[in-house]
Amino acid sequence: MELFKEYSKIFVEKFMEYLPNLITSLIILLVGLWLIKLTMKLLKKVFIKRDVDISLQRFLLNLLNWVFKFVLFVIVISQMGIETTSLIAMLGAAGLAVGLALQGSLSNFAGGVLIILFKPFKLGDFIEAQGESGTVKEITIFYTNILTINNQLVIIPNGKLSNENIKNYTSEGKRRDVITIGISYDSDIKKAKEVLVELMKEQENILKDPEPVVFVAELADSSVNLSARFWALNEHFWDCHFHTMEEAKTRLESAGIVIPFPQRDVHIFKDNE
């Protein structure tokens, strides 16, 4: 019992001696978290005012948030009387071990940095990469999320994305469509071209410069293939594509132009023996 009282007395004395540092550390922690939160809000307003790309905004805010919190952590434990030099050395060794174990994640992190810096695409762009195509929904530090036309979410590691081919359909603001339409060898090519050119020129969402064109692309086995080409803004591209496809068949048939199906002539020779 006496031993317990003695240890309790020592504990209380040490606690009272340590209490000011503990209170100060707690105050620094609370004030520091409040300042970090306030700083992040101010930085976000500055980024918006400067019209910084939304992907770069998120990346920098996340990175700075973790850096500020790490610095605050070091300050708090230093105030509590813990030796920071040895702690930082331990964290460095642990970081090296974790880095070796997570090489793939570090590769994705580096890929995310490259994507943010060089901007091969941005949020809202329609891209094709890694055998997938869709609209970029989110760019994180490690992964890029794209939404396919079937409303399926595809998550692609940034490491692979930054080191292989990316096709960006949106970056130039407009796209050219190439529609191949086969007509029979007996049909009037010039008339078919006139019908298709008129169809494209009458659509207000098809750009007039460069102007729509139609030419013979191939003399195929069963048809003369015409190539109808036009330019449209990204937001109007698919509407123009589907409308042109449907109307082309209807108007060509109305003009007496035959759209053939694949066919083959078979000649039978009778053996006289």
Question: Which pLDDT does position 164 carry in this prediction?
Answer: 85
CATH 1.10.287.1260 describes domain 2-101: yes
How far are the Cα atoms of 172, 205, 212, 230, 231 from residue 209, in angstroms, in the given order? 15, 12, 8, 9, 8
Instruction: Select from 27, 26, 67 the least CA-distant residue to 43.
Output: 67
**How far apart (Å, rounded) are the C-alpha atoms in residues 197 and 194?**
5
Query: Residue 219: what pLDDT?
Result: 92
Q: How far is CA 270 from CA 7, 9, 176, 265, 266, in A?
A: 118, 120, 53, 16, 13
pLDDT at 25: 80
pLDDT confidence of residue 228: 95
Task: Assign a CATH topology to domain 120-168.
Answer: SH3 type barrels. (2.30.30)
What does 191-248 look like in DSSP terms, one character per residue? HHHHHHHHHHHT-TTB-SSSPPEEEEEEE-SS-EEEEEEEEEEGGGHHHHHHHHHHHH
CATH 3.40.50.300 fits 174-254, yes or no: no
What does pTM read for this prediction? 0.59
**pLDDT confidence of residue 101:** 44
pLDDT of residue 16: 64
Using DSSP, state whether 146 is helix, strand or coil: strand
pLDDT at position 247: 94
Question: Where are the chain's structural domains?
Answer: 2-101, 120-168, 174-254
Q: Which residues of the chain have pLDDT under 50?
A: 100-102
